[in-house]
A and B are shown apart, each in its own frame.
Chain A
C-alpha cells in the first residue's frame, strides 16, 4: 500500500469520525445555520 492510499484512508477515517460527531451534535439540536443554535452566552 502506497503513501497515497494510507493518507487517503486516514483522511476517510477522520471524516467518518467528524461526521458522527457532527450528526450527534445535530441530534442534540446544535445546528450550523443562522437561528439553529441553542441559546448561548457570549462573553
Chain B
C-alpha cells in the first residue's frame, strides 16, 4: 500500500487532519510538543490509488534541519530512514494560511526532497480574522503543485484533498525547484535561509492580500489581560480554583450513584454464595478493591473535560507563556513548562513531549521534574482522603474547604518542581540559558467533538486500568492479607495482622510510623508501585478485611472506623494529609520510570527519579504529619 506523510509547522492542524482522514482519535493540541513521534493510520477514499493509503502523522517542525529529537523524526521519515516505515510516496504539506511565508520556508525544503507534494491550506478562518487572504488557485500556479483549501476541524475540503493526492500520485511531474542544499538536514547558511524566504515571498507576491497595518484581533485584546504579569496570574489561579471546586462538587452526586451501583452489583454477584474464601476474594478483593477505584470515574471525566476545554479554546498555550515569565526569573523556561503541563494529565506523554526540547540537559531536567506534576492518577487518592477527613466548610464565602484542599494538593507538585528544577539546573545544566518562543493560537470556541473525544479516551483508559492492573493488584493484596489462615478462630483484625501481608507490614511499620501510618497503610502504599491509584484499591481491600462486620459500608466509612490496637482512631486530618503529600510527591508509577529510562537512554536516571521523589515524599509526609499533629494537639 502506498503511503503519504503529513508534514508542517507545529500547531497547523496536522493531527486534526490525520484524525479527520483516518477516523482515528489521536490527541490533538494547540501548542507545540503534542505529537512527538510518527503515528500511522489507514486513509480510505475512492480517489486514492487502490482506494486506500497509509497516512503518517509527523511531529511539527519549522525546518528539516532538526534542532530537537522530535524534529529529527520528520527528516528521517522523508528520507526513508525509520525502521518499519517505508519512505512516503507523497507528502501533504499542511500550511497555516495565517502565516504563509514562514510555512512556505519548510515547503521549499519539502519540494527539494523529491517526493510529490500536495499543499493543504488550513486555518483560513484564522487568517481572515487577521485580514489575510490567500488565493489558493494562484498559489498553486506559482508553486506548480496542487493547493487545496481545507478546514480540518470542520472536516471541510477533504474530498478535494483526496482527489489532489490521488491525481498527484498518478502524475509523476513534480514542481521545478533547484535544490539549495544537498542534504536537507544540514543547517542552512544565512544566504540559503535568505534565498528560501525570498522564494516564499516571490510565490506569495500576487496571491496574498494583507492589510496595510496588522489588525487588532479579538485574541490580541484578550491576551492583553490574560498574559498580563499580574492579572494573568490572578486569572490563572482563579480559574484553577473554580475548576477544582467544580470537580469536587459536580462529580459528587454522580459518584454517589456509581458507588450505589457498584455495591448493588456486588450484592447481586454475591447473593446466595455462602461465606468462604471465594466470597471473600470477590467481596474484599474485587468489589472493595477495584470497585472502590471505579467510582472515581466522574471526577476523571470532569477533570479532563475542563483540561480539554481550556486546551482547545487556546488558553493552555497562554499559561506556558505566563509561566515562562515566572520561570525565567528562576532560570528555567516556558519550554520546560509545556511537558509539565501535559503531565497534569499523565506524566508519560509529558515526558515524551520533552523531545521538543533541543538542549539535552534542559530536556533531562524537565523529564526528571515532570512526574512531580499532579497527574490524574493522584485524583482518587486525594478525593478519598479529602472527602473523609477534610471538613466541608466555606472559605471566603464562596469556596468549599474540600475544593481548596484539592487545589492545594495540585499546586504542591508544581511548587515542589520549581526548587527541584533549580537544584538540578545548578548541578546538571550549568551554562545553559534557555530561550522560549511559543506561537499563541487564536482563541476559539472549543470544538465539542475534540473535547468529548479526549474525555472519552481518558475515561476508557481509566476503566481499563481499573479492570486490569488495579484489579490484579487488589486480588494479590487480598491473597497476601487472607493467607495463611489462623489455626483457631480469631477476630478479623488479628487474622489480618497474622497474614503474610500483616507480617511484612509489621516489619516495615517502624519506618513509616513517623508519618502516622500503621502497617496497613504502609502495605497499601507500597503495593501501589504499578500505579498511584492502586492505593485506593489496596486500602479498600485491606480495610475491608480488617473489620468483623461483613456488610459493605464503603471505603470512606471503613477508613473512619479503623483504629490502632489501643483503640485510638487510625485516620485523622494529619494522617490523611501525610498520605496525600506522600502520593503528591512519590514515584509510585512503573510506566513513568520506564519512560524516563527510555527517553534519557539510561536506567540510572529512572533510579535517580525514583530515589529523589521517594525521599521527597517521605520527608514531605513526615513534615506534614508532625506539623498538623502538633497544631491539632495545640488546638485540642
Contact = CB atoms under 8 A, between A and B. Distances in A.
Given A32-B461, A32-B464, A34-B458, A8 B278 contact: yes
B472 interface: yes
Contacts of A16: 472, 476
Interface residues of A, number: 30
Interface string B32-53: 0000011111100000000000
Contact of A27 (B276, B346, B594): B594
Interface in B439-479: 454, 457-458, 461, 464-465, 468-469, 471-473, 475-476, 478-479
Interface string B512-533: 0000000000000000001000
Nearest to A7: B278
B591 A19 contact: no
B305 to A, nearest CB: 14
A39 B38 contact: yes
A36 B464 contact: no
A32 B465 contact: yes
B276 A34 contact: no
Which secondary structure dominates where chain B touches chain A? helix
Interface string A25-43: 0111101111110011111
B155 to A, nearest CB: 19
A33 B40 contact: no
Given A33-B591, A34-B27, A22 B41 contact: no
Most B C-beta atoms less than 10 A away, residue of A5, A23, A34, A39? A34
Nearest to A5: B277
Contact of B476 (A9, A15, A36, A42): A15
Contact of B281 (A12, A31, A35): A12
B349 interface: yes
Given A32-B461, A39-B39, A22 B472 contact: yes
Interface residues of B, number: 44
Contacts of A15: 471-472, 475-476, 479
B110 interface: no
A23 B276 CA distance: 30
A31 B277 CA distance: 33
A5 to B, nearest CB: 5
Interface in B259-287: 274, 276-281
A42 B476 CA distance: 34
Nearest to A26: B590
B590 A27 contact: yes
Contacts of B468: 18, 22, 32
Nearest to A22: B469
B472 A31 contact: no
A40 B458 CA distance: 18
Contacts of B93: none
B24 interface: yes
A19 B472 contact: yes
A31 B348 contact: yes
Contact of A34 (B22, B349, B479): B349
A34 B278 CA distance: 34
A19 B473 contact: yes
A7 B342 CA distance: 43
B66 interface: no
A4 B345 CA distance: 41
Contact of A12 (B352, B471, B475): B475
Nearest to B599: A29
A33 B347 CA distance: 10
A39 to B, nearest CB: 5
A34 B346 contact: yes
A27 to B, nearest CB: 6
B369 to A, nearest CB: 19
B346 A33 contact: yes
Contacts of A41: 40-41, 54
A35 B349 contact: yes
B609 interface: no
Nearest to A42: B41
Contacts of A26: 530, 590-591, 594
Nearest to A13: B479
B591 A36 contact: yes
Contacts of A19: 469, 472-473, 476, 530
B245 to A, nearest CB: 25
Most A C-beta atoms less than 10 A away, residue of B54, B281, B352? B281
Contacts of A39: 37-40
B595 interface: yes
A4 B278 contact: yes
Nearest to B304: A34
B598 interface: yes
A28 B41 CA distance: 23
A25 to B, nearest CB: 10
A4 B54 contact: no
Given A4-B278, A8-B281, A23 B590 contact: yes
Interface of B: 22, 24, 27, 37-42, 54, 274, 276-281, 342, 345-346, 348-349, 352, 454, 457-458, 461, 464-465, 468-469, 471-473, 475-476, 478-479, 530, 590-591, 594-595, 598
Interface of A: 2-5, 7-9, 11-12, 15-16, 18-19, 22-23, 26-29, 31-36, 39-43
30 contacts: A4-B277, A4-B278, A5-B276, A5-B277, A7-B278, A8-B277, A8-B278, A9-B277, A11-B278, A15-B479, A18-B468, A19-B476, A23-B530, A23-B590, A26-B590, A26-B594, A27-B590, A27-B594, A28-B594, A29-B594, A31-B591, A31-B595, A32-B465, A33-B461, A33-B465, A34-B345, A34-B349, A34-B461, A36-B595, A42-B22
Lowest 10 CB-CB distances: which A-B pairs, in order?
A35-B349, A4-B276, A4-B278, A15-B475, A19-B472, A8-B277, A12-B479, A36-B348, A31-B591, A33-B461
Given A4-B279, A19-B473, A19-B476, 11 more contacts: A3-B278, A15-B471, A22-B469, A26-B530, A29-B595, A32-B461, A33-B465, A34-B349, A34-B458, A35-B345, A40-B39
